[in-house]
């Protein structure tokens, strides 16, 4: 019985190889057929959007005759820059490999060839803030040709992008070259604010890029320094925008730790004004202990739970108004409701200008003077022992 089972499975596998029933089986069979035509190559096949890609990797150096027809730019890209270059069917011919010869005959086949090689690299940013010197390394890869090397940063899921191309002639002559930097904050969408990938290093790079003094950069290839230069500061407006975003994110992360929550970061362009303001309000309230606002010249209305108020609008003089929350204030923090506690609000230099009796109390309208301010703090227990009649805070 055991021999029968083994024979049965072997026969079944043989039939599947002759008539593959799934995409995976068909790809595997095709790989085996191509490998037999030229065992000097490792063959891998992938299918993307209905297009089959055959990747050939020689197991050891292979001698081939390759004829290519293209534009001057194609060969500059292929040889001098070492970039993958595509040649359409009919514009290339191969001899010296039965496998490649057969592939080249197919009029639906295009050839993508890369002459150069890819090596590890990094860019080091040096910046100074007073007596403090900061150093940040940005890892990446160089695509090298005979004349040029193109760098691209490789921080997975970081919004920071760095890329540039430098020629060997520029390096030898110490000529300047351009760095292209950019930010794509979409990659941080829906990540918990305390687990934003590469946040600390990205923040440090931003600080270096936007430092007051020009920062020095140093370029490394496979761990060896090949050149260094002084980087000119980017435009002030661009720096201010990026710095504002990271200042706001720093506050979000502090609040998340302080409140023991970890909300997910929405897409920055979809964050509402209320969400931006709530972060600022909570940070000042909980970190700095007080939130202040200039309210010069504005008027506002509050409701009190009593009809007989011991004051008249016509007799009112600028004075201080104190209000205490009757219940803890809940505030939305990036979609997570958090308790800010019972709040105390103090308005300075305000006058009562109108009082209207309501069914369940009174409505009072106040006018702020030129020097009026509004201050909000978390109320202490002693505040309630001295509290006046409870009032509803203004909207």
Which residue ranges make up each domain of the chain? 1-62, 63-115, 119-245, 283-392
CA-based Rg of the chain, rounded to a whole angstrom? 35
Full pLDDT tens readout for the chain, 395 residues: 545 445 545 554 555 555 555 666 777 777 888 888 888 888 888 877 777 788 888 888 888 888 888 888 888 888 888 888 888 888 888 888 888 888 777 777 888 888 788 899 999 988 776 676 788 899 999 999 899 999 999 998 899 999 988 888 888 877 777 788 889 999 999 999 999 999 999 998 888 888 766 677 889 999 998 888 777 666 677 788 889 999 999 999 999 999 999 999 999 889 999 999 999 999 999 998 899 999 998 998 888 776 555 566 555 678 888 888 888 889 999 999 999 888 999 999 998 888 887 777 788 888 999 999 999 988 887 776 655 544 444 44
Q: Residue 192 to residues 170, 251, 334: CA-CA distances in angstroms? A: 43, 14, 11
Residue 120 has a pLDDT of: 94
Residue 107 has a pLDDT of: 75
Residue 99 has a pLDDT of: 82
Torsion of CA 52, 58, 64, 68, to 10 degrees: 40
The tokens for 2 are 């055991």
Q: Rounded to an integer, what distance in angstroms lies between the CA atom of residue 271 and that of residue 265? A: 9
Three-state helix/strand/coil letters over 234-303: CCHHHHHHHHHHHHHHHHHHHHHHHHCCCCECCCHHHCCHHHHHHHHHHHHHHHHCCEEEECCCCEEEEE
Residue 361 has a pLDDT of: 78
Q: Which residues contact 251 (CB under 8 A, 6 or more apart)?
A: 279, 280, 283, 287
Q: Rounded to an integer, what distance in angstroms lies between the CA atom of residue 99 and that of residue 54? A: 11
Q: How many CB atoms lie within 10 A of CB 193?
A: 21
Q: Rounded to an integer, what distance in angstroms lies between the CA atom of residue 37 and that of residue 266? A: 53
Q: How many CB atoms lie within 10 A of CB 21?
A: 9
Report helix, strand or coil for 177. coil
The tokens for 219 are 């370029």
Q: Rounded to an integer, what distance in angstroms lies between the CA atom of residue 318 and that of residue 351? A: 5
Report helix, strand or coil for 31. helix
Residue 395 has a pLDDT of: 43
Residue 101 has a pLDDT of: 82
* 55 sits in which H/E element: strand 51-58
Phi, psi (rounded to 5 degrees) for 270: -105, 0
Write down the number of H helices and E strands in the chain: 9, 22
Q: Rounded to an integer, what distance in angstroms lies between the CA atom of residue 337 and that of residue 341? A: 12
Report helix, strand or coil for 223. coil
Residue 393 has a pLDDT of: 44
Q: What is the pTM of this model?
A: 0.71
Q: How many CB atoms lie within 10 A of CB 47?
A: 12
Beta bridge partners of 143: 118, 150
Q: Rounded to an integer, what distance in angstroms lies between the CA atom of residue 177 and that of residue 197? A: 29
Residue 152 has a pLDDT of: 93
The tokens for 89 are 């069917």
Q: Rounded to an integer, what distance in angstroms lies between the CA atom of residue 337 and that of residue 359? A: 32
Q: What secondary structure does DSSP assign to 365-382, as a single string?
A: EEEE-TT-EEEEEEPPHH
The tokens for 229 are 């230069």
The tokens for 264 are 């997910």
Residue 252 has a pLDDT of: 96
Residue 235 has a pLDDT of: 66
Sign, Cα dihedral of 166, 167, 172, 175:
negative
Among 46, 151, 103, residue whose Cα is nearest residue 87: 103
Beta bridge partners of 43: 56
């Amino acid at each position: 019985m055991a021999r029968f089972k083994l024979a049965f499975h072997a026969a079944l596998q043989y039939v599947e190889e002759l008539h593959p029933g799934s995409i995976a089986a068909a790809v595997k069979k095709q790989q085996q057929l191509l490998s037999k035509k030229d065992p000097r190559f490792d063959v891998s096949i992938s299918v993307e959007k209905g297009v089959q890609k055959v990747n050939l990797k020689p197991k050891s150096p292979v001698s081939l005759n390759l004829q290519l027809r293209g534009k001057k730019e194609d060969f500059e890209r292929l040889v001098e820059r070492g970039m993958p270059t595509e040649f359409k069917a009919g514009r290339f011919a191969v001899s010296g490999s039965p496998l490649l010869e057969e592939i080249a005959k197919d009029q639906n086949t295009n050839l993508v060839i890369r002459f150069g090689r890819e090596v590890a690299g990094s860019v080091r940013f040096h910046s100074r803030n007073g007596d403090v010197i900061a150093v940040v390394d940005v890892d990446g890869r160089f695509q090298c040709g005979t004349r040029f090397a193109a760098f691209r940063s490789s921080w997975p899921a970081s919004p920071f992008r760095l890329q540039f191309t430098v020629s060997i002639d520029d390096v030898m002559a110490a000529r300047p070259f351009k760095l292209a930097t950019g930010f794509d904050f979409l990659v941080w969408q829906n990540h918990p604010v305390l687990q934003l990938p590469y946040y600390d290093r990205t923040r440090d790079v931003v600080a270096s890029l936007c430092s007051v003094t020009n920062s020095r950069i140093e370029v490394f290839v496979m761990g060896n320094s090949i050149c260094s230069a002084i980087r000119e500061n980017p435009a002030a407006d661009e720096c201010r925008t990026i710095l504002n975003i990271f200042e706001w994110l720093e506050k979000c992360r502090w609040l998340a730790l302080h409140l023991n929550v970890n909300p997910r970061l929405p897409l920055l362009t979809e964050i509402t004004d209320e969400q931006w303001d709530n972060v600022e309000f909570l940070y000042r309230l909980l970190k700095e202990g007080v939130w202040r606002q200039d309210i010069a010249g504005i008027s506002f209305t509050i409701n009190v739970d009593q009809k007989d108020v011991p004051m008249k609008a016509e007799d009112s003089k600028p004075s201080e108004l104190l209000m205490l929350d009757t219940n803890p204030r809940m505030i939305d923090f990036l979609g997570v409701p958090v308790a800010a506690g019972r709040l105390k609000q103090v308005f300075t230099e305000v006058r009562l200008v109108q009082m209207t009796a309501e069914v369940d109390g009174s409505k009072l309208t106040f006018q702020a003077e030129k020097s009026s301010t509004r201050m909000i703090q978390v109320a202490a227990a002693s505040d309630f022992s001295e509290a006046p009649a409870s009032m509803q805070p203004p909207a």
